[in-house]
Amino acid sequence: MNNWKKYKLGDLIDVKHGFAFKGECFSDTPTKDVLLTPGNFKIGGGFKSDKFKYYNGEYPNSYILKESDIIITMTDLSKEGDTLGYSAKIPPHSGINYLHNQRLGLVQFKNDLFDKDYLHWILRTKPYQFYIVGSATGSTVKHTSPSRICEYEFSAPEDKTTQSRIAQVLTSFDDKIELLQQMNQTLETMAQTIFKEWFVNFNFPGFDGELVDGLPKGWKRGKLGKEFDLVMGQSPKGESYNEDGNGMVFYQGKTDFGFRFPTNRLFTTEPNRKANFLDTLVSVRAPVGAINMANEQCCIGRGLSSVRHKTMAFSYTYYLMKSLENVFKGFESEGTVFGAINKSNFENIEILIPETKLISEFEQTINPIDYKILNNSLQIRTLTQLRDTLLPRLMSGAVSVAAGFSGDRADLVAGSAVVRPDDIVPRKPNDTNHSPKK
């Protein structure tokens, strides 16, 4: 802790409020103007490049954000203030404008004496966020302000080069995580394209173009419940819940979903309804039809169901469920207050039923892609855990930056978390322990 100094954010930065963009100009149709919101922040900080909102109207050019600008969430709808006050950096981009909305603050540095990336990581530490949430106003919707943010005090190395080295270590993890996430998005898009070509456009290997009643020879129309096993979730007793890893991981609903796999948040010592490894998870309460895949055996609450093809074709199951998005949306108004789909309605969804041989061929083609997505996701989890472990220790001076520590080290650490196709135990129809070999 030698050569460390206490700082106040207000001595280093100002926080600029965003622009009040007109609600009538908001758009779900993509435009070149992306209106950023607190929904574009990850829990723990960092930029989330999905679920963009768009703008179709005029605005001052001074509210166009630049690459590497640091923004802060000023409003949070969650009970815990999951993202309130956290920071994110505007990523490289071209052909679009990221717009500075009024619910976000823009960090403006008063001088260049302090490393900007280091300060970005200060704004992602737990002590800072505890301070922000603790000083927030509002009960249902939590708010912070530039003045509250600028009152925060922290200790940091006086030497800007040391600040930069610490920030580079943490940023190397974020860069690797982002690269793996982009790779997963590309892989899933590839797999979805193949599914659509084969099972929607009927452009599959060996097809001669002959249709019988509008379907390829050997295909038929039928009910989803005849082809898939479906388990509707049921929440265990509330007193069995814990966050300490005791018992089986428990997913309540879409809240736990990630890009492909859920995030472990809650556990239960009294699991009842279960989903198995590589089962597809479908949200059956608002929003109906959100899709994930189980990366381990898990307990599912009443907001979820698990689905698997009777031949155990896990890739085919996942991409078929993804293709039914518009069908699931039709159930959004079925619940009395929130949208919902019950087991009977789920099982009676009309689907096209291809020949089993084609499903098997699809599995052979797509399984390697899905295993790669799984392995990348395991690496992301390992890198995230290591980054989150290092963050408080580096920012408090408990750990110093060793010479030569870089993203390559991050690759080495994450590379041990790998599942290969050979590690999977094939599951018989009544086998509930479909999981990686130990």
| Token couple for 213 | 């009643």
* Cβ neighbours of residue 177 closer than 8 Å, sequence gap 6 or more: 380, 383, 384, 387
Which pLDDT does position 77 carry in this prediction? 77
Reading the chain (438 residues) residue by residue, the pLDDT tens digits are 679 999 999 999 999 999 999 999 999 899 999 999 998 998 889 998 877 999 999 999 999 999 999 999 999 877 667 889 999 999 999 999 999 999 999 999 999 999 999 999 999 999 999 999 999 998 888 999 999 999 999 999 999 999 999 999 999 999 999 999 999 999 999 999 999 999 999 999 999 999 999 999 999 999 999 999 999 999 999 999 999 999 999 999 988 999 999 999 899 999 999 999 999 999 999 889 999 999 999 999 999 999 999 999 999 999 999 999 999 988 876 544 568 999 999 999 999 999 999 999 999 999 999 999 999 999 999 999 999 999 999 999 998 886 555 545 554 444 444 444 444 433 333 444 444 443
Which pLDDT does position 431 carry in this prediction? 45
| Token couple for 115 | 């490393």
| Token couple for 387 | 């980054």
Q: Which of 160, 165, 145 has its CA nearest to residue 72?
A: 145
Q: Are 405 and 393 in contact (CB under 8 A)?
A: no
From its phi and psi, is residue 334 left (phi > 0), alpha (psi between -120 and 50) or beta?
alpha
Dihedral sign of CA atoms 173, 259, 269, 239 in order: positive
- Which domains occur in the chain, in start order? 4-158 (3.90.220.20)
203-209 long-range CB contacts below 8 Å, 24 or more apart?
204/358, 204/361, 205/361
> 417-438 burial by CB neighbour count: b if 16+ within 10 A, else e?
bebeeeebeebeeeeeebbeee
Which pLDDT does position 400 carry in this prediction? 84
Only one residue has tokens 């518009």, namely 326
Which pLDDT does position 333 carry in this prediction? 63
**How many degrees, rounded to 5, is the angle at CA 328 between CA 201 and CA 265?**
115
